Amino acid sequence: MRVLVLGGTTEARQLAALLADDTRFQATLSLAGRTRDPAPQPLPTRVGGFGGAEGLADHLRADDIRAVIDATHPFADRISANAEAACAAAGVPLAVLTRRPWMAEAGDDWRLVLTMDAAAKALSGLPDTIFLTVGRQELGPFLALDRRFLVRAVDPPDALPIGAVLVLDRGPYTLDREMALMRAHGVGTLVTKNSGGDATAAKLDAARALGLTVVMVDRPPAGTAPRLYTAPDAVAWLAAHVPSAIA
C-alpha cells in the first residue's frame, strides 16, 4: 500500500525507520533538498519540490498514493498547506506528525511574538549577546541590527549580521553544553522558534537556569488534518486509514 511521508525532520526519520520494517506499507520519503549533507534515510527517498499543491496532487494520483503523513517541520507552513489542498483534491487521507510545542515554565521569561520581524523588533531593550537559533534562512530581519550576535545553524547561512559569531552544529544538545556556550559568549537573550520536541529543548533549560530572556516565535496556524505526536501513532493511523493495509 503506497504511502508518502513528507519529511525533513527527526520525526520523519523515526517514522521512516518504522515503515521500512513494516510490510503492510510501501512508503516513500520526500525531502525538500535544503540540507546540504542530509543524514542517510531508511526509506526510498525523492528530493525536491512538487510544484505547489497542484503538482503534489498530480504526484499523489500518478504514484497511486493511498495516504500521506506530513512530518515536516512545524514552521514549514507552505508544504503543509499544499499537502492539505493536494490531499483534499486527490481524495487522499492526510495526518500531521509533529512535535508538541514548548510551554513556558515557572522561572521562564518568554516574550511571545508571531513573526521573525516582530522578534527582531522585540530585541530593543533586551541585553546582548543575542543568541539566534532560528534557522539559517530566517536571519533577514536581524542583518541590519547593530547588536552583538551569536548565530547557530546546521549549514552556513548565506548572510550574517555584521560581526556575528557563527557556530555550526546539528545537535543533539545537552544542558551542560548549552550553558557553557551561553556563558562563553556572554549570551543575554535567546531568540528561537517554538519548534518543540526534545532534541533542541536544552537551550530553554539553559536560558531558565541562567535567568535569560527568550524571544519565542510562535507557530504558524495549524491546518485541519489530525495531529499525531509519535511515530508509532502515525503507523497506527496509517493502518486505520488504509483499510487494505490492516493485517
Residues that bind ligand NAP (CB under 6 A): 6-9, 30-32, 34, 49-52, 55-56, 72-73, 75-79, 82, 135
**In the complex, least distance from residue 13 CB atom to ligand NAP, rounded to whole angstroms:** 11
**Which residues, 6+ apart, have CB-to-CB distance to 180 below 8 Å?**
none
List C-alpha distances in Å: 14 to 32, 77, 110, 198, 236: 17, 21, 30, 14, 14
**C-beta of 129 vs 200, nearer to ligand NAP:** 200
**C-beta of 35 vs 174, nearer to ligand NAP:** 35
Residue 3 contacts residue 27 (beta carbons within 8 Å): yes
**In the complex, least distance from residue 69 CB atom to ligand NAP, rounded to whole angstroms:** 11
> Could you tell me where the DSSP H helices lie in the chain?
10-20, 52-62, 77-90, 116-122, 175-184, 202-210, 231-241
Going by the DSSP 8-state scheme, the letter that residue 240 receives in this structure is: H
**C-beta of 59 vs 147, nearer to ligand NAP:** 59
**Dihedral Cα 69, 75, 79, 84, nearest 10 deg:** 60
**In the complex, least distance from residue 99 CB atom to ligand NAP, rounded to whole angstroms:** 11
The residue at minimum Cβ distance from ligand NAP is 49
Q: Which residues pair with 166 in a beta bridge?
A: 151
**In the complex, least distance from residue 29 CB atom to ligand NAP, rounded to whole angstroms:** 8
**In the complex, least distance from residue 84 CB atom to ligand NAP, rounded to whole angstroms:** 12
**C-beta of 77 vs 205, nearer to ligand NAP:** 77
**In the complex, least distance from residue 154 CB atom to ligand NAP, rounded to whole angstroms:** 8
**C-beta of 30 vs 179, nearer to ligand NAP:** 30
**In the complex, least distance from residue 158 CB atom to ligand NAP, rounded to whole angstroms:** 14
**C-beta of 188 vs 220, nearer to ligand NAP:** 220
Residue 211 contacts residue 149 (beta carbons within 8 Å): no
**C-beta of 38 vs 188, nearer to ligand NAP:** 38
Residue 211 contacts residue 179 (beta carbons within 8 Å): no
The Cα 80–Cα 78 span in angstroms is 5
Helix (H) or strand (E) holding 30: strand 26-31
